[in-house]
């Protein structure tokens, strides 16, 4: 996950199986859940997409997701945690805000400008 941030469980499972052929997908999920619970990795849950995992934790960053190809980039917060403030904290001691920005990545923008409107630009990266 250090070399391939924003990886999903099936991609992690494929990498693990190359090293440990007897590994199971359930074992990968169990380990991902345990590592997330103790804060060693972070789970990202873009709406309508599978969960993604990364090792970048504890630094108050957010994510940008391409609506077309699903590529994810990190983006640093412009301030201190949490970098957003709710209208009311309801008595909570808020220490984190989770933000996912959505848009269209440069590769997909370029593909769209070179193709006819309405064509599928799946996996344009």
CA distance from start to end of the chain: 19
State if pTM tops 0.85.
no
Every domain range in the chain assigned CATH 3.30.1490: 59-125
The CATH number assigned to the domain with range 59-125 reads 3.30.1490
Among the listed ranges 69-78, 84-93, 112-121, which one has the minimum average pLDDT value? 112-121
pLDDT given for residue 118 in this prediction: 47
124 known member of a binding site: no
Is the domain covering 1-57 a CATH 3.30.565.10 domain?
Answer: no
When the pLDDT of each residue in the chain is averaged and rounded to a whole number, the result is 87
On whether the CB atoms of residues 9 and 49 are closer than 8 A, the answer is: no
What is each CA distance from 53 to 25, 29, 38, 43, 112, in whole angstroms? 15, 11, 14, 5, 29
Q: What is the pLDDT of residues 48-88, one digit of tens each?
A: 999 999 999 988 788 999 999 999 999 887 777 667 777 78
Every domain range in the chain assigned CATH 1.10.10.10: 1-57
105 known member of a binding site: yes
Q: Which residues pair with 7 in a beta bridge?
A: 53
83 known member of a binding site: no
């Amino acid at each position: 996950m250090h070399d391939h941030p924003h990886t999903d469980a099936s991609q992690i499972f494929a990498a693990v199986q190359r090293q440990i052929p007897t590994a199971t997908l359930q074992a990968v999920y169990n380990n991902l859940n345990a590592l997330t619970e103790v804060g060693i990795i972070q789970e990202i849950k873009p709406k309508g997409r599978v969960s993604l995992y990364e090792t970048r934790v504890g630094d108050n960053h957010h994510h940008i997701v391409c609506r077309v190809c699903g590529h994810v980039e990190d983006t640093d917060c412009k301030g201190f945690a949490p970098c957003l403030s709710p209208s009311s904290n309801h008595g909570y001691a808020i220490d984190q805000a989770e933000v996912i920005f959505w848009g269209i990545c440069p590769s997909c923008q370029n593909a769209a400008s070179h193709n006819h409107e309405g064509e599928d630009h799946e996996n344009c990266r």
